[in-house]
Each structure stands twice: as structure tokens, then as C-alpha cells.
Amino acid sequence: MAKQVLVLEGLSLLTKGVATLLRQVEGLEVIEVDLDQPGAGGRVATEHPETVIVDRVDLEGAEEDLLLHLLQGGPKVKVLCLDIAGPVGELYQHQRLAIEDVRALMQALQAE
């Protein structure tokens, strides 16, 4: 069964590019959601993805407490905040983990 990855897309092109790359990975089902749509954060509860990816820039411009809302959307959901200006990103799953390179990103996405 494919692992679901929900990609929240806003103004940044970073998440669009990541979604395109992830579609090439066998065993991942990529769901793209426009962050500007009403209730976009609620799609976590309806789609039940294992991982949500969002650009930190889009996250900061989104509705208040979106990160908390995403984490509450599923008991095991991982939220990956990409940051083009820093390390690859930060992974949240009841705690914050820094992702330093692409290999660590792929391990985080594929971890149980």
C-alpha cells in the first residue's frame, strides 16, 4: 500500500517542485492541496496522510496555528516544514526534528 504524502502549496514554488519529485518515488501517493483554499488544513483529517509537507514561508503566511491544526489532524501524522534558506527542513511529530539533507528527508518520509 502506498504511503500518502499531502503537499500544501501556497505562493512558494518549492513545494510544487518537491511534489513533482516525490511523484517519481515508488510507494508514495502525493496529494496536492492549495493552501489558500478554505479548510485546506482540515484535509489532513479527511485524507489521513502519513506526512504533510509545507514551505515554512507559506506556513508563516497561513492561518494562525496551522501547524498545531495539522498535527491534531491525525495521531501519527508527520509535518515537514521545508526551508530553502536553512537546512532542508524541520519535521514535527509530537516533537521537532531538524532534517539536514535529502537522505534524512527520504528516511523520515519512509519511516513507520
Residue 104 sits in a domain whose CATH number is 3.40.50.2300
Average pLDDT, the chain: 77
The per-residue pLDDT for range 75-102, each reduced to its tens digit, is: 677 888 887 776 666 666 655 556 677 7
Give me the number of domains the chain comprises: 1
Q: What are phi and psi of 76, to 5 degrees?
A: -120, 10
The yes-or-no verdict on residue 63 having pLDDT over 60 is no
- H or E stretch covering 34: strand 28-34
Specify the pLDDT at position 15.
85
Domain that includes residue 50, residue range? 3-110
